[in-house]
Amino acid sequence: MANPFVVGDTYSRKDVYNIIDIPEDKQGGNWNTGYTTYNDDVFIFANINSAGRTGHDYDNKFIGDDLQWFSKNTHSLTSPTIQFMLNPIGKIYIFTREDSSNVYFTYHGIGSVKDYDNTKPVRILWAFIDEKESHPVKLAEEITSPEIYIEGATKTITVNVYERNPVARKKCIEHYGCKCVICNFNFEKTYGEIGKDFIHVHHLVELSEIGIEYGINPIEDLRPVCPNCHAMLHKRKPAYTIKELRDNFLR
């Protein structure tokens, strides 16, 4: 069956019930406690960067494209639902929200276990399967597998991680729009539907100021840029500023 959800769109649990036709007697219960299984599929509803409605505050957060996620305190690696995630039969649909009072969750895609820790609660690092092979935030030359690069590449990896955070990206684009702040290029206007929502984001903060616990501000720290301008910004170390590129090189 084709994926009934659209990456980036928001859904309430009731919306999910209706879309996949959950019988009324199967609704509620585990659906409201973070994650559940249904017809060989797994549905995860995670609070990120905030405490859940039950008061539990897990360190759920995006690390680049990947989602760090924690199970319930009572679940271990041997818990049936966790085993179902590690050895899936069907698909794992992942939804997140930042405000536990909001009934709507953003759908991020079909999850695949990238890494996990045998702890209680269980920590899982989710990667996302891109069924349409259309990922708007990756360039071929970006570093996406830090473990295979020497130490000198670490700082570049750090920038890529911050720039690819999907929650931060979304807030940046909602504020500034989906066109390049340097050259004003808009992919949708030029390419039509396939260019819709396609843009890169550039991190303004210098590498020396970025630490592991750096708290990103999507409005102050990020700007939407086209891939060409993004590449040109990084032609120098430290990177050119947006003003420098716009004033001195743009023709």
Region 13-18: mean pLDDT is 96
Measured at the CA of 89, the angle between CA 40 and CA 48, to 5 degrees, comes to 75
Kindly report, residue by residue over 129-164, the tens digit of the pLDDT.
Answer: 865 544 444 443 343 344 433 444 444 545 566 666
Residue 114 has pLDDT above 50, yes or no: yes
Least confidently predicted of 114-123, 127-136, 144-153, 209-218? 144-153
% residues pLDDT > 70 (the chain): 78
pLDDT at residue number 139: 44
- In 13-97, where do the E strands start and end? 35-38, 41-47, 61-63, 66-70, 92-97
Computed over every residue of the chain, the mean pLDDT equals 82
Region 79-93: mean pLDDT is 92
Instruction: Please tell me which of 51-65, 95-109, 201-215 the model is most confident about, judged by mean pLDDT.
Output: 95-109
- DSSP secondary-structure letter at 237? S
Region 169-194: mean pLDDT is 92
- DSSP secondary-structure letter at 239? P
Helix or strand (DSSP H, E) at 117? strand 105-117
SS3 at position 124:
strand
Region 49-68: mean pLDDT is 75
* Torsion sign over Cα 191, 192, 198, 200: positive
pTM of the model: 0.66
